[in-house]
Structure 1
Amino acid sequence: MNRWGLSICAWLLLASWMVSNHYAPWGSAHSEVLACAAAVALAVAGLGRAAPPIRVDRPVLFLLAIALVPLAQVAIGQIFFAGDGWIAALYLGCAAWTTLWSAHAARVDQDRFVRSLATALAAGALFSSLLAITQVCLVSTGPLGLFIAAVPPGHAPFANFGQPNHLNDLLALGLAALMLMYERRWVSGAFAATGAALFTGTMVITQSRAGLVLFAAAILWHALFARRAGLRTPRAAIVAFAAAWCALFAVWSRVLDVVELSAAPALTSRLQAGPRTVIWAQLWEAIWVRPWTGFGWNQVSVAQMAVAGDYPRSRLSEHSHNLLLDLMLWNGVPLALLIAAVATWWLVRSALKVRSANGAFAVLVLGLLLTHSMIEFPLEYLYFLVPFGMALGILMVEAGSKPVWVVSRPAGFAALLAFVGVAGSAAGDYWRVEEAYRAMRFTVARIGTVPANARTPPLDTQFTQLSAFYEFSMSAPRAGLDAAELAWMGRVAHRYGYAPTLHRYAVAQALNGDLSGARLTLLQLRQLHGDRPYAEAKEEMRQMADQHPELRKLQLP
């Protein structure tokens, strides 16, 4: 393995967690591009002069086969906008790519590769901990503040992730990395314990309840693999850190009150499930609207809109916060259960063959991310999907996975060029979209001057879902729309069911004679976004009725 390539891979992965840029329409795009670049660097490292042939294993082909599903859904018109299927296929392809090259790296120089991954995870957790402490203590950082994400008032710190749950995931992976470093005697016990104390304390200040399930997963992992892999980390140490997390989590709001820092919610409110249980019930019902085929990849919001009128006090979500539910909503029940069964069978079978600290570390990384995927969606971000693929590749080698076929080094170079071309094209295209969205937000906010009769030029991009929302946002509802135009507005509103989007679509429906449809859309707005946005939409429609008498026929509760 090329040591410089591995170093660049680790640095790029670390950078993906450090980026503070979060811009519409895709807040995590900058971080995810860096994570994808880390996967490219891993391939470059594996194509050194003395590199052996590349072995393609069944899990890689399995991921590639799943990547074909959203493309097939696009081909048959199941997905509203082709860009949704395309981006899902690209992410799955990136997961397969990372798994392929991480297995190659583990076969060629496993210790160097595993050490670089563990170092990146531990360093990312360390730097993110320092950022989170800076945020919670309201430390003035001067010009360096440009490189630290701003935390809204009353919000828990999240380093540069934009949300506490993701910081919690990285801290848990950092704890796994410290444990491996201690097992391999790369660091002393005192160093590992100090780092673990810092990471555990930072997990507390995120106020994310995910720490509970992540520590539970780690304790179960240790019970299953301590003897099998010959681990020297005592289980009592993991239990002690878990108990410390529970105790500090319970008193954290009082600690903030004593030191007069930003207030945290009371413990009772932090232990409430919030709208997640309503969303699960809602989406479970949506599954049975299309049980055989599902709604398509990236269409969870569309599925939610299908039943939104039946569930008050819900919340719009583009993800179900449960990986199995997502799979069923994307693919239908039969295919989702098949994917889950095959993946579970292979993971369990491979994990039972683990006999080393490296393999146990890979299982722990996979287990932590999969466990959290049952209540969140970390694997829908490349900066966690890439480490997941790396751990998967390590486990493949540890389990003695046999390749389906062997690819030559020149073929590997050709695949690298193709992957860079596809991913680079998507990244470059997205920068144009981001710039257009920035201008669109100024226009919608009435900042600057726009000619009265100016027509918004179409946004030509492979991300057709983003171009559709862009065009929708830059247009005004009017009478005289034909059926195709109104149907297109409906697809956009159901894909992006934000309050302003649903409001605009309801106005268009009412102006074009679809009063029952307008009432349903406004009901969906009320159920998903609450009484205040509904009241604002209702009042605006009342005012518009002076110029559009047809709106007076719209009887609203």
Structure 2
Amino acid sequence: MLSWVLPNHYYPWSSAYQEFASFLAVAILVLGAISNCYMKVPASFLFFVFVAFVPLVQFAFGRIYFFSSALLSFLYLIGFFFALVVGCVFFRSSRNGGYLLDVMVWAFMLGAVISIWIALKQWLLLSGSIWIVDMPPGGRPFANLAQPNNLATLLGIGVLAVLYAYEKSWFGRYSAGILVLFLLFGVALTQSRTPWLAFMCVAFFWFVKRRSYKFRVGSKVVFFWLVYYCACVVALPFISSFLMLDSTSLAARAQSFERLALWWQFILAIWHGPFWGYGWGQVGLAQVEMSSLYPVQMLTAHSHNVVLDLMLWNGPVLGLIIVVFLFFWFLRMALNARSLESTFALSVACLLLTHGMLELPLEYAYFLLPLGVLLGGVAAEHHNSYEIIFSKKMISVILVLSMSLLVVIWREYRLLEEDYRLMRFESARIGFLKADQPAPDVLLLTEVREFLRFARTDPAENMSKEQLQWMREVAHRPAYAPSLLRYALSLGLNGEPELASKQLQLLRELHGPVAYENSLSYLRALEPEHPQLGALLK
């Protein structure tokens, strides 16, 4: 729950503190799982270990530019595997299984209630506290998750948790109903489009499961909640206007179709791209390569669709294998679910996966790891023909190594965060403090390290081919307008006008004509001092 309410969001990794808190929680659960009599899990879990090593192999063969991209992808996948193991081991324990799920349900409800309280303060412009993230002018409330769609998903999970608590008779009819109405108003407050599709998928799943489990919540009540949510969505702009608050109607936002163009661009990237993919975490490279074929003025590091992401990262063959495995693995669990616990866990999974088809919630550990625990618990209920038993010593050694690695990453990230903050002051010419070196000496988080070094490297004449290649790799991960301009200027100063022109063209395709014209104006100002730049301006 701590990872949902922490207010710390800083560049260059805005969710770093929340992610570390999530991994720490899983590590504590693994320690608890080791105390069980045995650690017997389905053999299908090993598939995620296999996938976890794919990014490392891609880096070894040069497909992934920076080691940190491969390492973090590996850690997230291994973390998901450990979450599956924890869920399976705990849920098979008659002593701890129900207790863990109860704790998670209460955490979901408490996290949702605290988040909606924070969102209300943001909406009413009453934040002004170090414990609450400030909402930008004209923005949508996002609590301390700093992302409105993620808040909507958390509140949706909170609604499911309340329904589970009602089914378990923890709450009465009226207390549960009032809490659901409160949470649904919070969902409407986010003005997110995702809940419409997500709630339809969850409602369909619950309707199907009514045959195997008789729920206390009736269809009429669910229909009333839907009508209430629609009323909140319609009324919100009028309430905001009456209170003299900024608001954007959901209808206006629903008319935005940039996402469809983005998806088509990435479908073309899968078709025309490398057979083994662009590498985990390198969706931005696909956009760079496809911008000339199908330009979309929307820079992104993600496709906003988990299926497309998997296909882009791994290529059409391996990506399709992973997608098909996940589909049938999840379908098997959904068809065999009989208990209230499994139905709740799979409903949360439906919510997250539906959101994952439109956004990127599964790239946040505070959603990915709880999902792993819940799915591990569902898998524990089913009979599996092939199972494996993990040695406690082996798990203990892996846990110690993983935690040691996380400690090193934490230490490195704190150094990089401070240096990144200093670099931004330097770029804005605020103060007189300068860094002693281009970037901190770190070993693991290489991508941020190289970006800092890139930001402090002035384009100059007589740069080597190795330096220009290094600048290309950094400038395209991701392709920010200032990075592309710096790289284009370096190429122009070193006798590569054609390549420099291509970078400027890429800048126009990704960031639009205004950014392109501003870049040309900057280059024209440098032309008297560097006549060779004239070739770029013709």
- What SS is found at the alignment partner of 2:130? helix
Q: State the match for 2:449 in structure 1.
A: 467
Whether 1:110 and 2:94 are equivalent positions in the alignment is no
The 2-side partners of 1:128 and 1:424 are apart by 28
- What SS is found at the alignment partner of 1:56? strand
The 2-side partners of 1:433 and 1:363 are apart by 38
Q: State the match for 2:114 in structure 1.
A: 127
Deviation at 1:136, TM superposition (A): 0.4
Change (3 A) 1:130 1:417: same
The 1-side partners of 2:398 and 2:249 are apart by 53
Change (3 A) 1:533 1:305: same
Which string of whole-angstrom CA distances, capped at 9 and with x for unpartnered residues, describes residues 116-151 of structure 1?
A: 11111111111001000111012255xxx1010000
- What SS is found at the alignment partner of 1:495? coil
**Contact 1:60-1:97 at 8 Å conserved across structures:** no
Q: Aligned to 1:164, which of 148, 161, 167? A: 148
Which string of whole-angstrom CA distances, capped at 9 and with x for unpartnered residues, describes residues 56-96 of structure 1?
A: 32242111111011011011111111211111011001000
Deviation at 1:247, TM superposition (A): 2.9
Change (3 A) 1:58 1:158: same
Q: Aligned to 2:7, which of 17, 20, 24? A: 20
Deviation at 1:278, TM superposition (A): 1.6
Task: Map 1:239-278 onto structure 2 (within 5 A).
Answer: 239-261=223-245, 263-278=246-261
Q: State the match for 2:340 in structure 1.
A: 357
- What SS is found at the alignment partner of 1:360? helix
Deviation at 1:98, TM superposition (A): 0.9
Q: Percent identity?
A: 33
**Contact 2:191-2:249 at 8 Å conserved across structures:** no
The 2-side partners of 1:451 and 1:136 are apart by 39
The 1-side partners of 2:437 and 2:3 are apart by 38
Q: State the match for 1:52 in structure 2.
A: 37
Deviation at 1:458, TM superposition (A): 5.5
Q: Identify unmatched segments of 5+ residues in structure 1.
A: 1-13
The 1-side partners of 2:373 and 2:141 are apart by 28
| Deviates most, 461-470 or 244-253 | 244-253
Q: State the match for 1:98 in structure 2.
A: 83
The 2-side partners of 1:386 and 1:356 are apart by 22
Q: Aligned to 2:479, which of 494, 497, 503? A: 497
Q: Aligned to 1:36, which of 5, 8, 23? A: 23
User: Could you tell me which amino acid in structure 1 is paired with residue 200 of structure 2?
Assistant: A
The 2-side partners of 1:351 and 1:305 are apart by 39
Q: Aligned to 2:291, which of 308, 317, 330? A: 308
Q: State the match for 2:136 in structure 1.
A: 152
Q: State the match for 2:322 in structure 1.
A: 339
The 2-side partners of 1:311 and 1:17 are apart by 37
| Deviates most, 536-545 or 210-219 | 210-219
User: Could you tell me which amino acid in structure 2 is paired with residue 150 of structure 1?
Assistant: D
Deviation at 1:426, TM superposition (A): 2.0
Deviation at 1:512, TM superposition (A): 1.3
| Deviates most, 402-411 or 380-389 | 402-411
User: Could you tell me which amino acid in structure 2 is paired with residue 540 of structure 1?
Assistant: Y
Task: Map 1:189-338 onto structure 2 (within 5 A).
Answer: 189-261=173-245, 263-338=246-321
**Contact 1:506-1:519 at 8 Å conserved across structures:** yes
Which string of whole-angstrom CA distances, capped at 9 and with x for unpartnered residues, describes residues 322-361 of structure 1?
A: 0111011000011111111111111111221111100101
Q: Identify unmatched segments of 5+ residues in structure 2.
A: none
User: Could you tell me which amino acid in structure 1 is paired with residue 375 of structure 2?
Assistant: L
Whether 1:388 and 2:371 are equivalent positions in the alignment is yes
The 1-side partners of 2:264 and 2:51 are apart by 26
User: Could you tell me which amino acid in structure 2 is paired with residue 229 of structure 1?
Assistant: Y
Change (3 A) 1:368 1:150: same
The 2-side partners of 1:56 and 1:422 are apart by 25
Deviation at 1:46, TM superposition (A): 2.2
**Contact 1:477-1:508 at 8 Å conserved across structures:** yes
Q: Aligned to 1:65, which of 50, 55, 79? A: 50
The 1-side partners of 2:191 and 2:429 are apart by 38
- What SS is found at the alignment partner of 2:10? coil
Q: Aligned to 1:80, which of 52, 57, 65? A: 65
**Contact 1:219-1:239 at 8 Å conserved across structures:** no
Q: State the match for 1:397 in structure 2.
A: 380
User: Could you tell me which amino acid in structure 1 is paired with residue 69 of structure 2?
Assistant: D
**Contact 1:294-1:333 at 8 Å conserved across structures:** yes
**Contact 1:212-1:242 at 8 Å conserved across structures:** no
Deviation at 1:16, TM superposition (A): 0.3
- What SS is found at the alignment partner of 1:293? coil
Deviation at 1:450, TM superposition (A): 5.8
- What SS is found at the alignment partner of 1:449? coil
The 2-side partners of 1:140 and 1:448 are apart by 29
Change (3 A) 1:177 1:59: farther
The 2-side partners of 1:218 and 1:240 are apart by 16
Q: Aligned to 2:417, which of 419, 434, 449? A: 434
Deviation at 1:44, TM superposition (A): 2.1
Give the number of aligned pairs.
536
TM-score w.r.t. the length of structure 1 is 0.93
| Deviates most, 459-468 or 193-202 | 459-468
- What SS is found at the alignment partner of 1:355? coil
- What SS is found at the alignment partner of 1:328? helix
User: Could you tell me which amino acid in structure 1 is paired with residue 408 of structure 2?
Assistant: S
Deviation at 1:460, TM superposition (A): 2.3
The 1-side partners of 2:295 and 2:62 are apart by 31
The 1-side partners of 2:447 and 2:221 are apart by 48
The 2-side partners of 1:222 and 1:375 are apart by 22
**Contact 1:230-1:356 at 8 Å conserved across structures:** no
Which string of whole-angstrom CA distances, capped at 9 and with x for unpartnered residues, describes residues 518-538 of structure 1?
A: 222112112211222222111
- What SS is found at the alignment partner of 1:480? coil
Change (3 A) 1:423 1:239: farther
User: Could you tell me which amino acid in structure 1 is paired with residue 480 of structure 2?
Assistant: Y
**Contact 1:52-1:409 at 8 Å conserved across structures:** no
**Contact 2:523-2:533 at 8 Å conserved across structures:** yes
